[in-house]
Structure 1
Amino acid sequence: MNWKFWQKNNDAKPRKKKTKSREWFDAILFAVIAATIIRVFFIEAYTIPTASMERSLLVGDFLFVSKVNYGARIPMTPIAFPFAHHTMPITGTKAYWDGVEWKYRRLPGLSDIKRNDVVVFNYPQGDTVALEYQDQDYYQMVRSLGWKQVNSQFTIVSRPVDKRENYIKRCIGIAGDTVSMKNGLVYLNGKPEKLKNTGQIGYEVVFKTQDVNFSVFEDMGFNVSEEISPMSQNSYQFTGTEPMMEKVRKLDFVQSVKELTEVDQKRDGDIFPYDPNRNWNVDNFGPIILPKRGWTVKLDSATMPLYERSIRIYEGNKVEKSGKGWLINGVPADSYTFKMNYYWMMGDNRHKSADSRYWGFVPEDHIVGKALFIWMSYDTNGSFFSKIRWNRLLKGIH
């Protein structure tokens, strides 16, 4: 066969032109694949829904979160609807299929998680959810109402790690650290760690007079309607940062400013690890050693309340009580060696944050990424242009 003759005739055949609908389909498919790859492996947009990180991050801040810094996590539930997390926006049905689940793997990252990093992660206790109350902690509901009532009245579902709710907090302690808190002050490896200038807690402010012009506090940066409330005559509760409260303290009509913290040894049943033998509360707890990969802990009545969930749920072991000891995967065990690193996360708005004090450790396989910068910030109050917080646009997160 004459090769040149075949090539000439083959080139002469007209190519079938794509239809407009096919061009649109190819373009959309390419865009979805490209956006999904960027979202999974490089960078993803998030929004701040609650005040738990104020004043570092405000409700209405829109962030870019890097997957590269700590290493992108390979999808653990790979078959899912693009751009949906765990629930379809209209139908309310699952946005993923858990018939295929991959083991936890992570690509190499630029750095390890460091103390004080602002981190996005999957909510550790989000493995079980009551669909009618998805904003409530299932385990807290069980402690309050009882397992039978919760499971009989509500629709209970389980979720894989990467389909649990996304949370954002500041990393207070890394694997191997010892964390405690005394009168509202965090201690890390025995050394006090004061709140950063953007962190805030509650204060009691007593005025010398009832005739107070509260616009003074607006000029200082307080949201008077949300951050100042009456306690008693001439006494108000303020939520603010230490620098802000120093300015309040210097006002001539202010008699006193005192931090509002829980009394030591007053037990709160909702504080991790929910142990009746530990009189811990939101401002006083610990010390707690954060598990580190390769660290071996002795299993006894003191350590099991702290580490039993990590061993059983996060690391996938069958844990049973046997007489005075424990069985792990059916084998008697008096110690356990951890397979993952764990972290302690807390909100900067210390008295308005559901964080590690309430649900404990964050395992490394729950880590999503590092918050980088704010690309948009939007306040629901005011006119259209005044709603945009122009001074926060493209602001880095520290």
Structure 2
Amino acid sequence: MEWSQFSLGIVFILIAFVLPVIGLYKMFQKAGIPAWLALIPVLNTWHILRLTRRPKWWMAAQLIPFLGYIFTIGIYLEFVRSFGKTKFYQQAITAVAPFVYFIYIGFNRKDQYKAPSRMIPVQGPRKLIREWVDAAAFAVVAATIIRTFFIEGYTIPSGSMEGTLLTNDYLFVSKSAYGARLPMTPVAVPLVHNTLPITGGRSYTDLVQWDYHRLPGLGKVKRYDIVVFNVPHNDTAMADAPGRDYYAAVRNEGREAVWARTKILTRPVDKKENFIKRCVGLPGDRVEIRDGALYVNGTKGNTFPHQRIDYKIQVQSGFYLSPDYTEDNHILYKGTDAAGNMVLEMEQETAAAIAELPKVTAISVFTEPRGYIDGSGRATFPQHSDRYPWNQDNYGPLTIPAKGMTIDLNAATLALYERAIRTYEKNRFEVRDGRYYLNGKPATQYTFKMNYYWMMGDNRHNSEDSRFWGFVPEDHIVGKASFVWLSYGGDGEDGPSPYTTKKGIRWERLFRGVGALQQ
């Protein structure tokens, strides 16, 4: 059975927020305070901290990405300690499954609340330190398990998915939707991705590497899912801009200039930067873009209500859009085309409204013409303009590799698939005297070992995606975007954003399933 993104969000909310309340209700009764306080988020945490005599600022610390996991579990550990649950296994159960243990404590008649003044006194500073270390260790272990196998937070850093997902949308990403990927780089600092906070530097060592394995999931990647994945080209990265395409920088600046400018990093698969895009092509699909429109297996692909598209507007003299109008309708001015027509980036519904305005004589989708090659160095995959003169709006067709698919080895196919053969599937590939050799043996064909996917951003003219760096191997898939738990306007992680001029929390997006945000 396939689970929808919204269903996964509901399951997570049930486990993380609803089930603990059942036990908390009875635990509050035992503590002698009104049980209904347990039903109110935030307020129930306030009273737990009051009952355990812990600092109230712990509540604010829960909002800190990643560290919030630790503080939340730490609060739970302190509360069960006030019911006498101080043994190792009791603390471990609380850290891993508080929603179950709260119910047990609440409904078990023998477990009663002990105010801090009536608790068994700590015997010496060593025991106090050990208890704090144990509690912190349990919290870190529990948070790591949740983050690795079930669900992880992710922040939209840029506008490539505008306006479906907005810059500074905070998402939960389901690892179980496609099956959790087991760690491939196991020796790492918990709860951080690839860079240490504050001090910088690598958060892992690649001296120990495990092969790719994935647990069974609730479903498989489906066409048009919004997916978080490790971006394939990030096996080599630049320290001054770790999310940028190193290979594009080398093409534009030259290898020597790039290496002289910044430190060069190498990264294993699961420590590459995370990207979020829409999966528009599945293994074995034939994808093509014609005048900006996606085609999959010869059929025109879906468009989405909030997807942003560039339009050219032909207008009469005196046409004017006020700054308030453009801001309220999220219209971005992109300049003019060769004929002097205004180019605006906006959603489809907005374009329909613009077409009805006085002095607008024509409106159409703005695309790069077939055969146009961007001279800025923003070359499309496979960066072979002589053989494949494609651009972002007129691209393909090409076939996405599927596990078990066999191709002939020749110059045309190698331009498309050599990186997959050599880098992603770890084969030794050589060309000698006009003949091809795989792992030392002559070969005329190749059969793929993995499935691959084609990812594209909804904001097609502002997205670094598969059109520029190619296929996403299955071992790079992290999880499925589930729901937004926080969203606010302001600058993104990548700097000032033209899409987030209004500051403040976007209340209408909080706790919305990703599926609902696409309607």
Scaled by the length of structure 2, the TM-score of the pair is 0.70
Partner of 1:271: 380
Alpha-carbon separation, structure 2, partners of 1:172 and 1:217: 33
Higher RCO (CA 8 Å, separation ≥ 6 residues)? 1
- The percentage of aligned residue pairs carrying the same residue is 46
Q: Which amino acid aligns with 1:342?
A: Y
Asked whether the 8 Å contact 2:334–2:345 carries over to 1, the reply is: no
Partner of 2:330: 223
Alpha-carbon separation, structure 2, partners of 1:357 and 1:127: 18
Partner of 1:5: none
Partner of 2:266: 158
Let me know the Cα RMSD of the aligned residues.
2.1
From 446, 452, 476, give the equivalent of 1:336: 446
Secondary structure of 1:24 counterpart: helix
Matched, 1:243 2:360: no
Matched, 1:84 2:192: yes
**1:272 positional shift:** 0.1
Matched, 1:316 2:405: no
Matched, 1:48 2:165: no
Alpha-carbon separation, structure 1, partners of 2:209 and 2:123: 41
Structure 1, unaligned stretches of length 5 or more?
A: 1-14
Partner of 2:75: none
Partner of 2:279: 171
Q: Which amino acid aligns with 2:329?
A: F
Matched, 1:100 2:208: yes
Structure 2, unaligned stretches of length 5 or more?
A: 1-121, 492-501
Asked whether the 8 Å contact 1:272–1:357 carries over to 2, the reply is: yes
Alpha-carbon separation, structure 2, partners of 1:348 and 1:243: 15
Alpha-carbon separation, structure 2, partners of 1:142 and 1:213: 41
Give per-residue Cα distances to partners, 1:365-391, cap 9 Å, x unaligned.
00000000000001128xxx9600000
Partner of 1:136: 244
Alpha-carbon separation, structure 2, partners of 1:284 and 1:161: 30
Q: Which amino acid aligns with 1:228?
A: Y
Partner of 1:295: 405
Alpha-carbon separation, structure 2, partners of 1:255 and 1:214: 18
Give per-residue Cα distances to partners, 1:177-217, cap 9 Å, x unaligned.
00011110111001111421121221111222325242573
Asked whether the 8 Å contact 1:209–1:234 carries over to 2, the reply is: no
Moved more, 74-83 or 197-206: 197-206
Partner of 1:187: 295
Give per-residue Cα distances to partners, 1:300-332, cap 9 Å, x unaligned.
111001000000000001111122231111111
Partner of 1:10: none
Asked whether the 8 Å contact 2:316–2:360 carries over to 1, the reply is: yes
Asked whether the 8 Å contact 1:326–1:334 carries over to 2, the reply is: yes
Matched, 1:354 2:464: yes
Asked whether the 8 Å contact 1:123–1:366 carries over to 2, the reply is: yes
Give per-residue Cα distances to partners, 1:15-39, cap 9 Å, x unaligned.
9677222221111110000000000
Partner of 1:24: 132
Partner of 2:33: none
Alpha-carbon separation, structure 1, partners of 2:442 and 2:259: 32
Q: Which has the higher helix share?
A: 2
Q: Which amino acid aligns with 2:429?
A: V
Pairing 1:354-393 to 2, within 5 Å after superposition: 354-380=464-490, 387-393=504-510
Provide the aligned length of Structure 1 versus Structure 2: 379
Secondary structure of 1:376 counterpart: strand
Alpha-carbon separation, structure 2, partners of 1:327 and 1:292: 22
Q: Which amino acid aligns with 2:392?
A: V
Asked whether the 8 Å contact 1:207–1:234 carries over to 2, the reply is: no
Matched, 1:259 2:365: yes
Matched, 1:61 2:169: yes
Alpha-carbon separation, structure 2, partners of 1:149 and 1:320: 28
Alpha-carbon separation, structure 1, partners of 2:335 and 2:447: 51
Q: Which has the higher strand share?
A: 1
